[in-house]
Chains A and B, each alone.
Chain A
């Protein structure tokens, strides 16, 4: 039984797809909405509390983000965030808590390999692409915006 031709590989892939159970999209979307939504509600509550306490809007937002990121790092360390993500999926990935989780978890995992070669080089192993392409995209948009201004498009 040598390796397959491209057509046979396609057929095998198709067959594998057929017999592999899939997750229910509707159920996943429901839980992502509920859990992601609850994280956002929590953020909103924190924000309102700081606004009530007399903080300005910018300061209150910063405080809210710091608390959410802190909570996410804490629950990552306690092993709770992955348990939540099991149900939350994109709902735990998209809010800022997901980003914090993706930075905190490699920091914990690679700590044993040292401050520099462990944490230092690996901390952005998951978040790195988001940061890199996030900055690149905003840079490109900035150029377009600047061009538009110079050429009087807007």
Chain B
């Protein structure tokens, strides 16, 4: 599958006086990545990888972020304030990919995640021609993220009970999906 190596601009909203862009991470972003990777308020509501020190964060960028098929920094003025990623599958599951994202708490409540999701949605299906389904799993206790997906046109399909373990407890997750044939909002 092709790698999105071009920058994409989120200048669409006249509503958006906050312009965001998506770009690949590099090692020089480690301090910005540490902001959300060390924040308990972020790791409490999603499965974001946490880092306790700079070394761990550098290793994470090297070993997981850079080699990932589609992992981008959500940037304001080219500084990362969060991430968004799409994880593909293979074989009989290659028609679907999983969306994940997180933002530093300072930037919550400003429509940034919604913009970033819409940007991904507008390009991922043409980048990956096998892809028919983009899905996202959100903790039931995370209504903010559920709203992000709904505003981006995702459909709520199911609550998967005790689907995975997060912070030592089994959790109920809401499954959302957007198909390549669904209207883009």
A binds B: no
State the A residues within 8 Å of B (CB): none
